[in-house]
Amino acid sequence: MNIEKFIQRTEAFHRRLADLNQTANALPWITSDMLPQAFKELGSNSRMLQLAAEELYLQNEELIRTRGLLEAECQRYQNLFEFAPNAYLLTNIEGIIQEANGLATRLLNVPKHYLIGKPLINFVPLEERRRFRNELSEVFRSDSSRELLVRLQQRDGKSFHSALTIAAVRNEYGKPINLLWVLREIPESEQPQLPNNEFNFSKNRSRYEHCKGETISLNPSQIFYVCQGLVKLSTFCETGEEVLTGLASEKMVFGSSLTSLQTYEATALTEVELVSIDVAEIAQSPALSHALLPKFNQRLRQTESFLAISGRQRVQDRLHYLFRLLKQEIGQSIPEGYRLNVRLTHEELASACCTTRVTITRLMGKLQQEGVISFDSKKHIILQNLS
């Protein structure tokens, strides 16, 4: 029952009560002392109820007016957010996009309904994701905002250089609960200022192409820079079994001078395009050395990750953490989950997990039954529910 009907019924009840009281007083055979005291109290209470209903009506009208003002205010701020001249994003602390305005969707070239719920790191190239995560961790430690220069990749594969200003939203206890992002595309004239754009590794260098499955000849006096494709790095144990030690994807480096292993082999997992850099040139060029330092760190971090996997006691744990690493290094976001860009054989997975191919085949079948992994039409692994 709404307030208007309640007031109408209250007024009608009060009128009927007044008529009844008047009729009772007009009857000649009823004396005033015969009227029940309860009847008089009922009339008084009816009037009080009517006054209360009128007051409630006024308060309800005020609430309706206030609600209208709040809705207009919210709409105004929503319009300011949606049509702002800067690209704005709101994510949770894991970087999952919760809100995005119009300019952000246009810069990332993704419809809003698809963008919401997706990790922002999906738009960061694989080789820059570790630095991106490190910058995020610094945001949580600081009360001020940070600016990150990073190359972002649109859904169609095109990339652009951007400046991301990040600030943490904290609760009353100082704990981060959300992240605010301001995204700005950097004009081409400003791009030389970007840290990863200072040095062109392939400029004035010969390019080497290798077919899938081809072994790449290594020279201790050279370091290879991957322009395109994926290279498997491995060694061999005393029994002759291969042990996977790393994966060099686009814009990563590798070479026999970066390892102390006696046996070190590089194999093209896809069609690969490389350039070689002389170690002597690195020693003579501070600019080249400075540009290569993040690449060496990237190679070291990945090697340590593979080492940590092999140190886990249970084989299923090794496979789980291997998939997490592969998701980070060569995973491509698709609606079903993350698709590994390269087909890895059970033998190669077994070598990374320090186990046998038979064990990997059994565990893979179990994970597929549990819905953790699946395969596409080309037998690429899709990680669906990997925590």
pLDDT band at residue 173 using 50, 70 and 90 as cut-offs: confident
Per-residue model confidence (pLDDT) at position 43: 58
pLDDT band at residue 22 using 50, 70 and 90 as cut-offs: low
**Is 190 or 351 the better-scoring residue by pLDDT?**
351
Nearest to 235 by CA among 357, 353, 351: 351
Per-residue model confidence (pLDDT) at position 294: 86
pLDDT band at residue 201 using 50, 70 and 90 as cut-offs: confident
| φ and ψ at residue 331, rounded to 5 degrees | -85, 140
pLDDT band at residue 362 using 50, 70 and 90 as cut-offs: very high
Q: For residue 353, give the amino acid letter.
A: C
pLDDT band at residue 35 using 50, 70 and 90 as cut-offs: low
Residue pLDDT, tens place only, 162-171: 888 888 888 8
Residues 322-341 have a mean pLDDT of 84
On the question of pLDDT at 20 being above 80, the answer is no
- Alpha-carbon separation of residue 47 from 15, 18, 24, 116 (angstroms): 10, 10, 19, 56
Q: Are strands 207-210 and 176-185 parallel, antiparallel or unpaired?
A: unpaired
pLDDT band at residue 188 using 50, 70 and 90 as cut-offs: low
Instruction: Give the three-state DSSP class for 222.
Output: strand
| φ and ψ at residue 354, rounded to 5 degrees | 55, 50
Burial class (CB in 10 A: 0-12, 13-18, 19+), 44: exposed
Do 142 and 121 contact (CB within 8 A), yes or no? no
Per-residue model confidence (pLDDT) at position 254: 92
Number of Cβ within a 10 Å radius of residue 320 = 18
Read off the tokens for 152.
């972002």
Average pLDDT over all residues of the chain: 79
d(Cα 320, Cα 371) in Å, to the nearest integer? 14
Residue in the block written with tokens 């109408």: 8
Measured over the CA atoms of residue 18, residue 24, residue 28 and residue 32, the dihedral's sign is negative
Per-residue model confidence (pLDDT) at position 216: 92
Q: 22-31, 56-65, 187-196, 219-228: which has the minimum mean pLDDT?
A: 187-196
End-to-end CA distance of the chain: 50
For domain 311-387, give its CATH number from 1.10.10.10, 3.40.50.720, 3.40.640.10, 3.40.50.2300.
1.10.10.10
| φ and ψ at residue 242, rounded to 5 degrees | -80, 145
Do 309 and 353 contact (CB within 8 A), yes or no? yes
Tell whether domain 199-301 is in CATH 2.60.120.10. yes
Burial class (CB in 10 A: 0-12, 13-18, 19+), 203: exposed
Percent of residues, the chain, with pLDDT higher than 70: 80
pTM: 0.50
Do 248 and 301 contact (CB within 8 A), yes or no? no
pLDDT band at residue 197 using 50, 70 and 90 as cut-offs: very low
Per-residue model confidence (pLDDT) at position 195: 47
On the question of pLDDT at 313 being above 70, the answer is yes
Per-residue model confidence (pLDDT) at position 210: 92
Per-residue model confidence (pLDDT) at position 196: 45
Residues 259-284 have a mean pLDDT of 87
Dihedral of the CA atoms 81, 82, 88, 92 (nearest 10)? 80
Per-residue model confidence (pLDDT) at position 225: 93
Q: Which helix (H) or strand (E) holds 251?
A: none
Fold assignment, 87-195? Beta-Lactamase (3.30.450)
On the question of pLDDT at 99 being above 60, the answer is yes
- Taken as a whole, the chain contains a residue count of 387
What residues does each domain of the chain span?
A: 3-81, 87-195, 199-301, 311-387
